[in-house]
Amino acid sequence: MIRSLLHKVLLVSALIISPFVSSYAQEHEHEGEATHQEHHEGSAHGAETKKEGFNVGDMIMHHIRDDHGWEFAHGLKLPLPVILYSKDRGVEVFSSSKLDHDAIYNDYKLVHGKIHRVNAAGAEDHEAHVYDFSITKNVASLLLSAVLLLVIFSSVSKGYQQNRGKAPKGLQSFLEPIILFIRDEVVKPNIGPKYERYLPYLLTLFFFILVNNLLGLLPGAANLTGNIAVTMTLAVITFLIVNFSGNKHYWMHLVKPTGVPLALLPVMVPVEIVGVFMKPFSLMVRLFANITAGHIIILSLLGLIFIAKNLGGSGIASGISPLVAIFTIFMNLIELVVAFLQAFIFTLLSSMYIGSAIEEHHEADHGH
């Protein structure tokens, strides 16, 4: 009975959502045309896209990529500050709205989402090296998440100071099990007795990834944890912590793995050294790929509506949109799980790597 009820609820919600989804689809169709026109001159398969009227790939890439200016919906774009640094001109700051619609401002032009200096003729100036420190969509989202984290955890920490020695209250009691889980199930067993030194970093890491994963699931939000620059930073920080806290055993294991015959050392030592760099690399790619893949799947599902419209008109598009809505809801639920899971895995692996670097007792043989 519950199951049939659940089916009804899902169906009804899908029907309610579907008009929005299809209107969204129509919106994006225009957008698709716009971007397509934008790309028309440069892209090789421009003609092909023109025939189709809508390019799902472009739409997806547009959504998962960083952007100057935060577009919540078509036509509703929040301009963000562009900050540029070049050797000859120094620091330049202006609004990203100046560069909208291929406009050239101060000799700068937005080409494929990147700002390039152009010369008087309008062609790209390859001589000038412009460093782009703009507050892009991702940076704005990053700052937003930083503010969120600071607000949430200053409130939680106040809770601990106010109800000292008492039962937790409110937000504090909501987050305490998660903090305890990270401390007792992830950090403590993997790092061992010296866990307290690394706990602040790992807690920050977990909540940073979690909050940004969840923010990324909101409609119109940035894809921050699915950006390689972000995951690379996190992975590099973990890498630095692991290698700066590595003890004698850790380095000895690198140059002379125990239990390995002498003849195998020329093979094993490079493998071990590659392993040191592979660990953060895998951390970086795992988070980036998981989050980006989730976004791509959801966007592809929504893209089905546009494709249906291109192939069979708005009738078919409206027809399939309930189905797409159901799948999208399902994928969103999976993405919620992934948001938690990836934050957990990143933290777990980071603590395992730190734990193996500071491990005092040296195990005779642990397979890699």
Partner 1 sequence: MDLLTPDIGLLFWQVVVFLAIFFILSRFAWKPITSGLKEREESIQSAIDLAEKTRKEMAQLQSDNQKLLAEARAEREAMLRGAKETADKMIAEARDKAAAEGQRVLDQAREAMANERQALVAQVKKEVVTLSLDIAEKVLRKELADKTAQEKLVQDLVANARLN
- Would you tell me which residues interact with partner 1 (CB under 8 A)? 61, 64-66, 83, 112-113, 131-136, 138-139, 142-143, 146, 149-150, 153-154, 156-157, 160-161, 164-166, 176, 179-180, 183, 196, 199-201, 203-204, 208, 227-230, 232-234, 237, 292
Dihedral sign of CA atoms 227, 233, 236, 237 in order: negative
Identify which of residues 74 and 188 has a Cβ nearer to partner 1 in the complex: 188
Distances (CA, A) of 38 to 33, 82, 96: 8, 21, 17
Identify which of residues 49 and 310 has a Cβ nearer to partner 1 in the complex: 49
Q: How far is the CB of 138 from partner 1 (least distance, A)?
A: 5
Query: 105: which strand partners?
Result: 108
Identify which of residues 65 and 116 has a Cβ nearer to partner 1 in the complex: 65
Q: Which helix (H) or strand (E) holds 78?
A: strand 76-78
Q: How far is the CB of 174 from partner 1 (least distance, A)?
A: 13
Decide: 247 and 357 in contact? Cβ < 8 Å.
yes
Q: How far is the CB of 255 from partner 1 (least distance, A)?
A: 31
Q: How far is the CB of 227 from partner 1 (least distance, A)?
A: 6
Tell me how far apart the alpha carbons of residues 72 and 173 are, in angstroms, rounded to a whole number: 33
Q: How far is the CB of 136 from partner 1 (least distance, A)?
A: 7
Identify which of residues 189 and 270 has a Cβ nearer to partner 1 in the complex: 189
Q: How far is the CB of 228 from partner 1 (least distance, A)?
A: 5
Does residue 166 sit in helix, strand or coil? coil
Phi, psi of 110 (to 5 degrees): -90, 115
Identify which of residues 299 and 325 has a Cβ nearer to partner 1 in the complex: 299
Distances (CA, A) of 302 to 74, 153, 314, 324: 15, 36, 14, 7
- Residue owning tokens 């026109």: 37
Structure tokens at 30: 């225009």
Q: How far is the CB of 92 from partner 1 (least distance, A)?
A: 13
Identify which of residues 186 and 234 has a Cβ nearer to partner 1 in the complex: 234
User: Which DSSP string do the residues of 334-367 spell out, in sequence order?
Assistant: HHHHHHHHHHHHHHHHHHHHHHHHH--SPPS---
Residue 100 burial by Cβ neighbours in a 10 Å radius (0-12, 13-18, 19+):
middle
Largest CA distance in the chain: 72
Within 10 angstroms of residue 278's Cβ, the number of other Cβ atoms is 12
Distances (CA, A) of 330 to 7, 132, 325: 13, 38, 8
Quote the Cα angle for 170-208-215, to 5°. 80
Identify which of residues 13 and 245 has a Cβ nearer to partner 1 in the complex: 245
Q: How far is the CB of 115 from partner 1 (least distance, A)?
A: 10
Q: How far is the CB of 9 from partner 1 (least distance, A)?
A: 37
Identify which of residues 15 and 180 has a Cβ nearer to partner 1 in the complex: 180
Identify which of residues 72 and 131 has a Cβ nearer to partner 1 in the complex: 131
Q: How many angstroms from the chain centroid is the CA of residue 289? A: 9
